Amino acid sequence: MAEIVYAAGAPHAPGLIGLLEAAPPDVKDVVAHTYRSLAEAMASAKADVLIVFANDHLANSRVRAYPDFLIGMAAEHRGPYEWFKPWIGCEDYTVKGAPDVAAALFDGMTRRGVRMFAQSENLKFDDNISVPVLLTNVAGSGIPMVPVLQNCTVPPIPDQRRCYEVGQALGDFIRHDLPADMRVALLGSGGLSHEPGGARYYFIDEAFDRWFLDLVASGDHETLLNELTLEKMEAAGSGGTAELLAWIVVLGAIGPKPGKSFGYTVHKDFKCGVGGVLWDMSPNMPKSRAAA
């Protein structure tokens, strides 16, 4: 039975790269601590493959033909896509793909009643994949990656319960369809509160972000699924905050487990709240902080 050895959620705001140098020291400290911790944990996990769920941001498909989940099957993933380079301000990168795992994922999710789409050509990556790949050193580590770009913003949007179900199917696929000795890392890329393209572009909902980080780190998935509605996420930043649904897919795959965050920070120029969570994947952990 393959094993999930790493599970994390982290934002991918483009300012975390292009605008980081000009940020205040206390903001930089939280960003550095968060992504360094996630990178070190990923390296320690010695995973054979990393599957990343992230908001597609309307980067790959037209609004009238918009997939809820799009798997990148390429043998090599290159980014960022040309138009996003000056906006992110990052270097070009290449990450090894895992076409066999990607194909198995497509087949396995289809068999489990989850319609995904898959593409062998290089997907167009913006900050969604580029930021975590660079800040957690995926590009340098050599770990093969399967990106899954997700509809978090084109109505109708798969809500928190559907994304959790997709995550449960993902967990079942990993445990039963992948090679028995395979070690799998999962990353949900997106959030925290932000409203890209909206009238409140600079709005960051600090109270929501702190509530969310505490809740996902607690392992209380029942409360999370009851309260993290699309309406609540839209109120915390329309068209952006709902990309936390990528975290929900990861949580569905791992089930209730406690996690830890590495601080929280807000910076106006990032236009996004920043904080990440690493869930404890060691065996025999209590299902929630309350049960510990």
84-71-111 Cα angle (round to 5): 165
- Pick the closest to residue 251 from 208, 288, 210, 202 (CA basis): 288
Q: How far is the CB of 25 from other proteins (least distance, A)?
A: 18
**Measured between alpha carbons, how far is 256 from 252 in angstroms, rounded to an integer?**
8
Q: Does 86 bind other proteins (CB under 8 A)?
A: yes
Token pair belonging to 93: 């990168």
Site string for other proteins, 90-119 (x = CB under 8 A): ------------------------------
Q: Does 82 bind other proteins (CB under 8 A)?
A: yes
Sign of CA dihedral 164, 149, 90, 18: negative
Q: Does 58 bind other proteins (CB under 8 A)?
A: yes
Site string for other proteins, 156-185 (x = CB under 8 A): ------------------------------
> Looking at the chain, which runs of residues are DSSP E strands?
3-10, 49-55, 69-72, 76-79, 93-96, 117-119, 145-150, 183-189, 259-261, 277-279
The answer to whether 271 touches 196, Cβ cutoff 8 Å, is yes
Q: Does 57 bind other proteins (CB under 8 A)?
A: yes
Q: How far is the CB of 178 from other proteins (least distance, A)?
A: 34
Q: How far is the CB of 269 from other proteins (least distance, A)?
A: 8
Q: Does 269 bind other proteins (CB under 8 A)?
A: yes
Q: How far is the CB of 38 from other proteins (least distance, A)?
A: 23
**Among 9, 11, 14, 188, contact with other proteins (rule: CB under 8 A):** 14
Distances (CA, A) of 106 to 119, 161, 177: 10, 21, 11
Q: Does 292 bind other proteins (CB under 8 A)?
A: no
The answer to whether 213 touches 192, Cβ cutoff 8 Å, is yes
Q: Does 121 bind other proteins (CB under 8 A)?
A: no
Q: Does 22 bind other proteins (CB under 8 A)?
A: yes
Judged by beta carbon, residue 46 or residue 87, the one nearer other proteins is 87
**Among 25, 142, 155, 283, contact with other proteins (rule: CB under 8 A):** 155
Q: Does 234 bind other proteins (CB under 8 A)?
A: yes
Cβ-count burial of 100 within 10 angstroms (0-12 exposed, 13-18 middle, 19+ buried)? middle
Distances (CA, A) of 273 to 83, 92, 210, 217, 264: 24, 25, 9, 16, 7
**Among 83, 115, 223, 260, contact with other proteins (rule: CB under 8 A):** 83
Q: Does 88 bind other proteins (CB under 8 A)?
A: yes
Give the 3-state secondary structure percentages of the chain, helix then strand then coil, rounded to 5: 40, 20, 40
Token pair belonging to 185: 């890392």
Judged by beta carbon, residue 12 or residue 271, the one nearer other proteins is 271
**Measured between alpha carbons, how far is 182 from 125 in angstroms, rounded to an integer?**
26
Q: Does 214 bind other proteins (CB under 8 A)?
A: no
Judged by beta carbon, residue 108 or residue 237, the one nearer other proteins is 237
Q: Provide the binding-site residues for other proteins, judged by CB under 8 A.
A: 14-15, 18-19, 22, 57-59, 62-64, 82-83, 86-89, 124, 153-155, 195-199, 201-202, 234, 238-240, 269, 271
